[in-house]
Amino acid sequence: MNSQTHVLMGAALFGKPMPRLAWAAAAGSLVPDLPMYVTVGTLRIAGFPLSEIFRRIYWQDWWQIANAVGHNFLLWSGLALASGLALSGRTRRAWPAAAAEPGARPLTAKTSREGAAALVFAFSASALLHSAIDFLFHRDDAHMHFWPLSDWRFRSPVSYWDANHYGNWFGLFEAAIGILLVVILFRRYRALWVRIALLVALALYVAVPAFFFVTHHG
């Protein structure tokens, strides 16, 4: 899926109790694609054309492994499980609601540890969700989600972008979900800069297809 959909989903699902968690979730949903952005940015600055980047360089082992680390089921499920266990039970109720109540116990090492576990959970659960969605909707560009245990890739019948494999329909479906998530998050958070970020995400659903339309048909 497009990065902004991952970010919106992560923030909506795992960011509820406090905005700080929403940012951790948004960052976690972006991190699997981070190696790609950094590499494409660096290669563009070095003067490589996009066609060479995606037809040749993208498929080299080092880049495929960077994608495999970013979208790793073992890494993200391990972190989500560990932080989820740290949060579960009594400690879960103690944070953050108790800390916000009048007369609440002061923030101790224990509560700040719980706060850290909540942030790690929001971050890793979002990264895991991103990886799972990519697992389902990537075809020729599928990732090695179980690397280094296995280099197996699931070649999905549905590609999130390839028109030969339902990519056009999926794009419409994804934009519909994205717009719905923007509305949910817009109502949840009132801060101006959060709302500006949401409007930017919304604009990307128009801008990205428009860019491809212009570059392919112009």
- Smallest Cα–Cα separation from 28: which of 13, 7, 1? 7
The tokens describing 182, both together, are 């923007």
Q: Tell me the closest approach of the beta carbon of residue 97 to Zn ion, in angstroms.
A: 34
Q: Tell me the closest approach of the beta carbon of residue 30 to Zn ion, in angstroms.
A: 9
Nearer to Zn ion, 33 or 114 (CB): 33
Dist CA 203 CA 83 (whole Å): 34
Q: Tell me the closest approach of the beta carbon of residue 7 to Zn ion, in angstroms.
A: 11
Q: Tell me the closest approach of the beta carbon of residue 179 to Zn ion, in angstroms.
A: 20
Nearer to Zn ion, 117 or 128 (CB): 128
The contact set with Zn ion (CB under 5 A) reads 32-33, 134
Dist CA 58 CA 106 (whole Å): 51
Nearer to Zn ion, 114 or 134 (CB): 134
Q: Tell me the closest approach of the beta carbon of residue 55 to Zn ion, in angstroms.
A: 19
Rounded to whole angstroms, what are the CA distances from 171 to 22, 49, 200?
A: 25, 25, 18
DSSP string, 155-189: --S--SS-GGGTHHHHHHHHHHHHHHHHHHHHHH-
Closest-by-Cβ residue to Zn ion is: 134
Rounded to whole angstroms, what are the CA distances from 218 to 48, 205, 212, 213?
A: 22, 19, 9, 7
* CB of 4 closer than 8 Å to CB of 201: yes
Nearer to Zn ion, 15 or 70 (CB): 70
Place of tokens 């090695």: 144
Nearer to Zn ion, 50 or 100 (CB): 50
